[in-house]
A and B are shown apart, each in its own frame.
Chain A
Amino acid sequence: MFESLPPALALIGGALLTAAISSRQIRAFVVIGAPLVCLYGIWQVPDGVSLEASFLGYTLELVEGSPVRRLFATIFALMAATGGLFAFNHARRTELVAAQFYAAGAVGVCFAGDLLTLFLFWELMALFSTVVVWCGGTEKARAAGVRYAIMHLLGGVILKVGIEGVLISTGSLDVRPLQATDFNTWMILIGILINAAAPPLSAWLSDAYPNASPTGSVYLSAFTTKTAILALILLFPGESILIWVGVFMIFYGIIYALLENDIRRILAFSIVNQVGFMVCAVGIGTEMAINGAAAHAFAHIIYKALLFMSAGVVVMRTGMHLCTDVGGLFRTMPITMWCGIIGALAISSFPLTSGFTTKSMISQASVDEGLMLVYFLLAAASAGVFLHAGIKFPWFVFFQKDSGLRPKDAPWNMTLAMLFFAGMCILLGVFPQLLYPLLPYAVEYEPYKASKVLFYLQLLLFSGLAFFLLLPWMQRTLTISLDVDWLWRKGLPLLARFGARVGSPLVNAAQSRLDDAFNAVTTSARNTMGHAGPLGRSWEIGTTALWIVLLLMVYVFAYYLF
């Protein structure tokens, strides 16, 4: 039965049920159970197209299976279930409903066999992720949600323009490897890269995610950017420009995270950084690189969600969201702290964590292709990740100064969710071969060579030394950092005000002329047609009869002639 149904339906059903059920306890079963049913469905999908439908004369391939599609769908379903466990007791019902629709969109994209189906699920994600942002419930969340929606609708339009162009020029809607060689394929690539938070349009991510609720940002961290990575793997493997787009994202994320003070915005910038590793790997495009991108996306969703869970618990318990306001929380939040540290070690690709076994595949791919500069930039970035996320996040949140705050540790359901993902980080770090059978290509890679482990230990531990020696330069300030979104958040309003100031004399002069012309016309009309005017006043009977006779004569004459 499951082979003939899209797995995303389980999540859509879950969302509808969640909306209908008022009991929080029963809702918990749904928000955790529906993704697990979806997970079962995902593993029933065979390779190749298994479900087609006809729409407006097009044949849509609603479900097409392949190893990489199943891998991404698996981690999305797992994320939805664990996110449900983390959130069910604290999130608003609207958020839980929207999050399940959002996850359904992500799973739908995974199995989309054609570009139209992919687009439909893509927009489902955009729609409901916006609702998740709005569930932050503050004025800032509302405004950030509007900006987020505009950016994603713009990305959707660009993607759709490309899809229509490809359909017209090739006659095919199939999801297959393309090359960015013409306008249509570039539009598709740009549309996808907007969702991947690639430059110059990265700011939507760090703007929206930290403004969501503590539970909402966990969901948001997982789906949008990683479906973009899957779309890049399916549509643009080996597109060389992606190598440098990825490298830019990596360093953009590090620099902005170093400057940042908001706990969750640090993590948001580090999403851009980590997605940069994956984009770079897709650009390299070899089997090792694609395996690396897919494996890293899998591991990343787990440790990033774990970090957002840890940060979310802190925000929820303290009501604070700035590094300058917290600190010293290790005293009363040991579980949240340890889970945060495990997530931080995993994102830093510390040996024995999942990040090490997956990110080193991407480095290995750059070595195999002889890309020396890329290899050293990735190595420098690994040190930078340890600096901005691996140490900075746990240090400023749980240690540094004593803020005097003594909040309670996480509630039981949040603790369970964090422990599960922390365990996954270590499990995939110690036994990476568990993930290998799920990867798109056969794996012949050994991450734990003594020489490699020693190199990374030197790299990471000395970047830790740099952090503590440069700590006076790392102290947080009550500031934000300007990004490209300054252009429409400040630049456009400034331009409009400037235009109004410069243009107002011209507009006033034009309006005065128009008023004069209008007055002249009305005065003339009043003079002609008013009571005293030639056409408006009362005439004598004889004069009127004379006019009638004259007009009749003209009429008869004209009739005779024509």
Chain B
Amino acid sequence: MNAPDNHWLTRPGTIRWLWIIGYSTLAITVGLQWLIPIKGYFGVDSWLGFGALFGFFSCVLMVFGARLLGVLLKRPDTYYDV
């Protein structure tokens, strides 16, 4: 079942390029706001990079929230079996 793993997608060089392309895309989506102004509905959402920051920090908050709740809620996956 096991096979030697030399898939092009797993090579360090490819992964480095993926990060470069990823960061470039992120920069472009924010930079494009100079060309295409975002018409916000409530004022604040038309600020430069608001969508980016809002999306990023919402996710950070949710991951932290999940981690905190996880302390209370997580149990071994055999919890209900015994």
Q: List the interface of chain A (C-beta within 8 A of B).
A: 251, 254-255, 258-259, 261, 322, 328, 330-331, 367, 372, 375-376, 379-380, 383-384, 387, 402, 404-406, 450-451, 454-468, 470, 473-474, 477-483, 489-490
CB distance from A302 to the nearest CB of B (A): 25
Q: Which residues of A contact B79 (CB under 8 A)?
A: 480, 482
Binding site for A on B (CB under 8 A): 1-3, 5, 7, 9-10, 22, 25-26, 29-30, 32-33, 36-42, 45, 49-56, 58-60, 62-63, 65-67, 69-70, 72-77, 79-80
A selection of 28 A-B contacts at a CB cut-off of 8 Å is A258-B63, A258-B66, A259-B70, A383-B54, A383-B55, A383-B58, A383-B59, A384-B62, A387-B63, A404-B1, A406-B1, A454-B51, A456-B51, A457-B29, A458-B50, A460-B55, A461-B55, A462-B26, A462-B59, A463-B56, A463-B59, A468-B22, A470-B60, A473-B67, A479-B74, A480-B77, A481-B74, A482-B72
Please indicate the chain A residues that have their CB under 8 angstroms from the CB of B54 in the complex: 376, 379-380, 383, 459
Contacts of B59 in A (CB 8 A): 383-384, 387, 462-463, 466-467, 470
Taking CB atoms, residues of chain B closer than 8 Å to A467 are: 59
* Contacting pair A459 B10 (CB below 8 A): no
Most A CB within 10 A of own CB, among B29, B42, B65: B29
Check if B56 sits within 8 Å of A255, measured CB to CB. no
Report the bound CA distance from A259 to B50 in whole Å.
28
* B81, closest chain A residue (CB): A140
Chain B residues with Cβ below 8 Å from A384 are 58-59, 62
- Chain B residues whose C-beta falls within 8 Å of the C-beta of A402 in the assembled complex: 5, 10
Known A261-B77, A404-B2, A465-B22; further 4 A-B contacts with Cβ < 8 A: A379-B58, A406-B1, A454-B33, A454-B36
B residues in contact with A322, CB < 8 Å? 77
**Beyond A459-B54, A466-B59, is A451–B37 a contact (Cβ under 8 Å)?**
yes
Assess whether B56 is in contact with A465, with CB atoms less than 8 Å apart.
yes
Q: Using known A-B contacts A259-B74, A462-B53, A480-B74, determine if residue A454 contacts B62 with beta carbons closer than 8 Å.
A: no
Cα(A465)–Cα(B53), bound, Å: 11
Q: Which residue of A258, A463, A490 is within 8 Å of B58 (Cβ)?
A: A463
Q: Which residues of A contact B32 (CB under 8 A)?
A: 454
List of A residues within 8 angstroms of B3 by Cβ: 331, 406
CB distance from B18 to the nearest CB of A (A): 10
The distance from the CB of B69 to the nearest CB of chain A, in whole angstroms, is 6
Closest A residue by C-beta to B65? A255
Determine whether the beta carbon of B55 is less than 8 Å from that of A480.
Answer: no
CA distance A36 to B50 in the complex (A): 47
CB neighbours of B62 from chain A (8 A) = 251, 254-255, 258, 380, 384, 387
Contact of A330 (CB < 8 Å), options: B9, B30, B33: B9
Task: Say which residue of A330, A454, A463, A470 sits within 8 Å of B29 (CB atoms).
Answer: A454
B80 close to A489 (CB less than 8 A) = yes
B82 to A: closest C-beta gap in Å: 10
Cβ 8 A contact of B52, one of A254, A406, A458, A468 = A458
Asked whether, in the complex, the Cβ of A451 is within 8 Å of the Cβ of B63, the reply is no
Q: Min CB distance, B25 to chain A, in Å? A: 6
The residues of A that contact B70 with a CB separation of less than 8 Å are 259, 479, 481
Residue of A nearest to B25 (CB): A461
